[in-house]
Amino acid sequence: MNKKTTGERLEFYNFSDVTVEHLHRYAIANDFVKNKIVLDIASGEGYGSYILSKNALGVIGVDIDKETVLDAQKKYLNDNLTFKIGSADNIPVDSESIDIVVSFETIEHHDKHEEMLLEIKRILKPDGILIMSSPDKKYYSDLTGQKNPFHVKELYFDEFKNLVNSHFCFANFSFQSSFNLSSFIGKIDTFYNHKIYSGDENNVKSNSIPPVYNIVIASDKKYYNIENSFFNGNEISNRVIKNLEVNLLRTVKKSTTFRVGSLVVYPFFIIKKTFKRIFV
């Protein structure tokens, strides 16, 4: 794959903890979408919409970037899956037509938060559900010094909570963090009860898990529960190792030493093939 990633969207040739974070969120959402009409706002490459379409009655993926939408239409095919061009504050679907809206790592990419929530409320059915994630500014940026150039307005947990609560009657919040290509999502009242141990043969230590991402499931009709869960990133880890092996082999083949060695060995290879044709 020669395509150069920008880091703005998750793409499935560039694996990291971000990969399992997104997959874990879609796995959570997948538990709610059976026989439902789902909107995936900022659907990006389209893999998440495709995952949900295997369980849902229908899925609409919406993204603001035309090229990204066209790529998704070619790559992810299902009879109940469509992709459209649109923005979070101007969603191209009819009012009260959607059962579930999923919005993962979208809200921080713009500053029209009120407009986005109003649009989500417009398109949701009266008993509809919103499942949304947002990076916590304190843990994502403030404490790490990280500055994501694609983030326009990040929210602290209280800001995120107040925004959602101002638009929905019921909201259940969880935290998420990832490590070593695995992810943990936990309830806010028990999240800090879990420890992560690390170390080597000289020393071991324990740490609490930082709640890097905030997740909410909200509705006007019912309080929904999300249980604590882990996402095992073993399959992604295997793909990371495979990619490293392929890239290492490609690098070796480009080296001067390999090319010189090939030139030296090639005549013997030809002689061997010739003898096989004559005597076998």
pLDDT tens for 150-191 read: 999 999 999 999 999 999 999 999 999 998 888 999 999 989
Torsions phi, psi for 13 (to 5 deg): -135, 5
To which H or E segment does residue 104 belong? strand 98-104
To which H or E segment does residue 217 belong? strand 213-219
Q: Within the chain, which residues score under 50 in pLDDT?
A: 1-7
Closest CA to 217 of 187, 252, 251, 258: 187
Q: Which residue ranges form the domains of the chain, and what is each CATH number? A: 17-232 (3.40.50.150), 242-279 (no CATH)
Please state whether 207 falls in left (phi above 0), alpha (psi between -120 and 50) or beta: beta
d(CA 96, CA 121): 8
Residue written as tokens 């059915």? 125
- Give the pLDDT confidence score for residue 6 in this predicted structure: 47
d(CA 150, CA 180): 24
Q: Please, what is the end-to-end C-alpha distance for the chain in angstroms?
A: 41
Which stretches within 178-255 are classed as H helix?
234-254
d(CA 133, CA 190): 19
Q: Looking at this protein, which amino acid is placed at residue 17?
A: D
